[in-house]
Amino acid sequence: MTDYAELHSHLYGCLTLDDLRYLAGRNKPRWEIFLKSYESAYGRSADIQDLMAPESDSRLRSYYHFKGPPDFPKFQSAFDLIIALSSTEPGELFEVASRVCAREPAVHAEYRQLFSPMISVSEFEEKTGALAEAMEAACKNHPGKTFRLVMSLPRNPVTGPVLFESVRTLKRAGKNIVGIDFCAQEEGYPPSLLSDLLSAIKSAEERYSILYHVGESFRDKSVESAVRWVVEAALAGAHRLGHAAALGMDPDVFRGSTREELASERLDQIDFEIKNYDSIREFILARPAPGSAAAMVPNKDQLSQEARDIRASGKKVVSVFYSPERTEFLRAFQDWAMSQVAATGAVVECCPASNQAIIGITRNHPLLRFLKSNVRCVIGADDPGIFDTDLEKEFETVRKWGVSESEIAQLKKNSLEFTSEKLTSVD
């Protein structure tokens, strides 16, 4: 029996090649979805002739497994293979969930599921109900293990609340749903957009953990703004933060580069730094070797002047250049932000294989900084089917990074303590 829990995985991201064959046999594959996606990602056609036959194993593997380097269309084409093969009708959902639970090595696992934002309320309830029943059946069929369902909702502030009401209806009717997750595209959806929904989830009579993917993909903004989003999500009440890579990525990765962001995003960042000015400055000065750290903090007058200049210019987009000074400020700002996240008690879910494939983090993983800070963290496999991994391999990866046996033992212990039910029982 293993001594850890799987707290960050997406149900349909857990499929094996055999599961894909099962889906292909059950449904009429919508090959056009995969073919179009593959062609646009790779610039050549996929060969689907006898693709699901056992002898085509290596070809199927080459279309399905994705390990990087980061290339979102290529990752999407692997995911579109799943979409092409699946129907997500209730019978399929029950069978898929049962299969995934049956081979789960962890003693406790929470699986997330996102449906299309176009789904009707009745369909959502029917499908979610099937998943909850599958988890319940799996608990009975595998004594000593627990399997829990977390529903991912769209970040859209209109449909998110409607589907949350459906989750509540199901939970009141006895379906065990332990948390609400927000995943998929981050860009364009600041945590503030969902503050009402997050408050409603927190204050619901039934208990739900709030799981929030943030700081994983931030192509549209400065690193500081991405770090701020992580802090904002934690302050808004997220119990666990998915990836939060921006919070601990090595600033040297950005040194010498220029990023662009909306002027409104930069203004939000300036407001944030002014509001927290004393706290940031005190934190930096209290570090063991502040050196010229104090000088790195832009002063309030400079920040206010920059805000006035941006407003006067009428610019929609501003550039942020990572000079040596700015890079060092970023490092200090991240450390301060980690202390803020740690103070909320939010848990960061680190997913090594996923971060390598999607973000391209191959060394100096944020986990190494989190372990030196007070940030609580766990390890998850995210989409183990696509990344061809499992939690054992993930622990092996962090071991290679120099994470010690005692730290690994602590990460495992954390996973058993930071389950949705335990985190929400102390709210």
The residue count for the chain: 427
Among 268, 382, 390, 394, binds Zn ion (CB under 5 A): 382
C-alpha to C-alpha distance for 66 and 382, rounded to whole angstroms: 13
CB of 74 or CB of 168, closer to Zn ion: 74
| Contacts to Zn ion from residues 49-78, by CB under 5 A | none
Distances (CA, A) of 156 to 118, 127, 237, 397: 11, 20, 18, 35
Q: Which stretch binds Zn ion (CB under 5 A): 25-33, 70-78, 87-95, 377-385?
A: 377-385
Q: Which stretch binds Zn ion (CB under 5 A): 136-144, 304-312, 357-365, 378-386?
A: 378-386
Please tell me the count of residues contacting Zn ion according to CB under 5 A: 1
C-alpha to C-alpha distance for 73 and 345, rounded to whole angstroms: 35
CB of 382 or CB of 390, closer to Zn ion: 382
Q: Is 186 in the site for Zn ion (CB under 5 A)?
A: no
Q: Is 328 in the site for Zn ion (CB under 5 A)?
A: no
- The token pair at 154 is 């769209």
CB of 382 or CB of 394, closer to Zn ion: 382
Q: Is 349 in the site for Zn ion (CB under 5 A)?
A: no
| Contacts to Zn ion from residues 198-257, by CB under 5 A | none
DSSP letter string, 75-112:
HHHHHHHHHHH----HHHHHHHHHHHHHT--SSEEEEE
Phi and psi at residue 188, to the nearest 5°: 90, -5
CB of 83 or CB of 307, closer to Zn ion: 83
CB of 216 or CB of 328, closer to Zn ion: 216
CB of 263 to Zn ion, least distance (A): 30
Q: Is 80 in the site for Zn ion (CB under 5 A)?
A: no
CB of 182 or CB of 254, closer to Zn ion: 182
DSSP letter string, 349-392:
EE-HHHIIIII---SS-HHHHHHHSS-EEEE--BSHHHHT--HH
Q: Which stretch binds Zn ion (CB under 5 A): 18-26, 161-169, 376-384, 392-400?
A: 376-384
Angle at 120 between CA 118 and CA 123, to 5 degrees: 120
Judged by the rule CB under 5 A, the positions of this chain that interact with Zn ion are: 382
